[in-house]
A and B are shown apart, each in its own frame.
Chain A
Amino acid sequence: MPTALPVPTKNPGDVWTSSTWNSYVRDNINKLLNQAHRVLTVAQFTALAGIEDGDEVYLEVDATNGIIWHLRYVNAEPTYKWRFLGGPPMFSEVTTNEATSSTTYAALTTAGPSIALPRGGDFNVRIQAALASGNQQVAMSYDIGATGAVDADQVLALSTSTTLFISVARERLKAAIAAATTLTSKYKTVTAGTGNFQQRGMSVLPVRLI
């Protein structure tokens, strides 16, 4: 991304020469307005107007960790017109080992991992964990906003001891998730017993955004 040239302090009596003007005013403004290189916040992305087919933007989805998605506007798309071109996933992880004996999906002592989505759209959602149990199946899935976790999204494992961990992961395409939705991991044991979970992770990449 072009870097703006710091503008020198103007003192009384100073005259704008053409070179000063070009360096500090024209060039800086052009850099600022260079849409092809401009990183937009989610709010700026929401406020875009006059978008044309083929326009590309960089969307900053995690300002703290510098996660930026490259998107291209495709007018032919009926609803989710911004196609994902590239960028790292949003990733959340809890490594501590915690247990549940709930036979319905529930949070562990440390809730999560969880990801608050920046926009609505279609997403590839991946969950992973090391699971252990006392010879019964245990599962991890995730709530999508207020919609409770379902088995269709789960990762599942059975081990013969609560200290024998098996690492599992799964990725699914989740279509038409609304804006401002938080995905929150949940856990259960399928039949009575105790399930242990550690190295829990969740990552999200968009396919198309609204």
Chain B
Amino acid sequence: MATIDELRALGYDVGVAHGDAAAEEELLATLREAQADLPAIDELQAAADAFAAALATMPAGDARNGLEQQLGEMQLTVSSLHDLTDAIAHQERAVEAAHAMPTAYVISGPTISRIYVCVNADGTGCTDNDQATLDSLADPDAHAERSFQADNPDAMAAAVTISGYGFPVDRPDPGADTFVVAGQTKTGRQLVTLAAKLDESPPAARASIPERVAEALVTAPELGDTTRVALEQALKPAPPALP
């Protein structure tokens, strides 16, 4: 049973999409630390109240106006500190919520762009499908083959081209630079060359004339069944030769 850590070890890019409880806890700690460095709300409120009471006894004038501005700033700060307290309470709820929800990871690698997987705290998948995704990504043969395909797109395109001309292309060793075409073992580079030759001189054109002759013979109305079957066997076109 593969885990998310095994995918990291294989070289996949693994990041958290959402539901990271550790990140929520870290932010909560930062907020609490920030709050600890600020003056206590009660003390600042008491200071602001005392300041306001003292100001009320002062005569109107420039000196009082300047102090009233400072009082306004103190009261604004008290309000902001209350907001910070609310933010910490919210973040405490967020930590609880994060612990109650699974973590979704996003995984990228060769031929894979962003597979999202729901993962339990022990690194396994939340559901059978999530676990199957982890297992499929951790499979060494499949991983090697994806890596090869990502690194050799020209060879893979050539394989499709060659298959299209009627020559089955097999990949006997996942991840290896080995292709088998009509019984012949070739490298990716050789495959690209072969595909180019086939594009230049398609084998289907050379086979078309005997195929048409055979079709005309076996459908002739005067032929008996025995002769027709014999002709079909004799005129069955041979597989095209590799260039």
Interface residues of A (CB under 8 A from B): 10, 18, 21-22, 25-26, 29-30, 32-33, 41-44, 46-49, 60-65, 90-97, 107, 109-116, 118, 143, 145-146, 161-164, 179-180, 182, 184
Interface string of B127-171 (1 = CB under 8 A from A): 111101101110100100110011000001000110110000000
Interface string of B13-53 (1 = CB under 8 A from A): 00111111101100000000000011000000000000000
Complex alpha-carbon distance, A42 and B99, angstroms:
12
Residues on the B chain within 8 Å of A29, using CB: 80-81, 83-84
Complex alpha-carbon distance, A179 and B100, angstroms:
12
* B 52-67 contacts with A by CB, 8 A: none
Closest A residue, CB atoms, query B38: A25
> Is A90 a contact of B93 with CB atoms below 8 Å?
no
> Is B104 a contact of A118 with CB atoms below 8 Å?
yes
Q: Separation in Å of the B13 CB from the closest CB of chain A? A: 8
Complex alpha-carbon distance, A14 and B3, angstroms:
52
Question: Would you list 18 pairs from A and B whose C-beta atoms are within 8 A, ordered by A residue?
Answer: A26-B73, A33-B87, A41-B20, A44-B24, A46-B93, A49-B93, A61-B18, A63-B18, A91-B114, A93-B113, A93-B114, A94-B112, A95-B111, A110-B112, A111-B133, A112-B112, A146-B127, A163-B161
Q: Separation in Å of the B98 CB from the closest CB of chain A? A: 4
> Is B129 a contact of A111 with CB atoms below 8 Å?
yes
Interface string of B84-120 (1 = CB under 8 A from A): 1001001101111110011010100001111111100
B126: interface (CB < 8 Å): yes
> Is B17 a contact of A94 with CB atoms below 8 Å?
no
> Is B17 a contact of A64 with CB atoms below 8 Å?
yes
17 other A-B residue contacts (CB within 8 Å) besides A93-B112, A114-B116, A179-B101: A30-B80, A44-B94, A46-B101, A47-B97, A62-B18, A62-B116, A63-B15, A64-B15, A92-B113, A97-B149, A97-B160, A110-B111, A111-B129, A113-B114, A116-B102, A146-B127, A184-B133
> Is B90 a contact of A48 with CB atoms below 8 Å?
yes
> Is A182 a contact of B112 with CB atoms below 8 Å?
no
Residues on the B chain within 8 Å of A93, using CB: 112-114
Known: A21-B73, A96-B111, A163-B163. A182 touches B18 (CB 8 A): no
B178: interface (CB < 8 Å): no
Q: How large is the interface on B (under 10, 10 to 19, 20 to 34, 35 or more residues)?
A: 35 or more
> Is B106 a contact of A41 with CB atoms below 8 Å?
no
Closest B residue, CB atoms, query A161: B164
Known: A26-B80, A62-B106. A43 touches B94 (CB 8 A): yes
Task: Return the 6 tightest CB-CB contacts between A and B, nearest first.
Answer: A64-B15, A47-B93, A43-B98, A116-B104, A46-B97, A96-B111
Q: Separation in Å of the A150 CB from the closest CB of chain B? A: 15
> Is A110 a contact of B136 with CB atoms below 8 Å?
yes
Closest B residue, CB atoms, query A32: B87
> Is A116 a contact of B101 with CB atoms below 8 Å?
no
Complex alpha-carbon distance, A43 and B102, angstroms:
10
Complex alpha-carbon distance, A49 and B81, angstroms:
18
Complex alpha-carbon distance, A118 and B87, angstroms:
22
Known: A109-B136, A111-B136, A182-B116. A43 touches B101 (CB 8 A): yes
B185: interface (CB < 8 Å): no
> Is A41 a contact of B23 with CB atoms below 8 Å?
yes
> Is A26 a contact of B76 with CB atoms below 8 Å?
yes
B70: interface (CB < 8 Å): yes
Of the residues B84, B90, B115, B139, contact of A92 by C-beta under 8 Å: B115
Complex alpha-carbon distance, A182 and B146, angstroms:
23
> Is A110 a contact of B137 with CB atoms below 8 Å?
yes
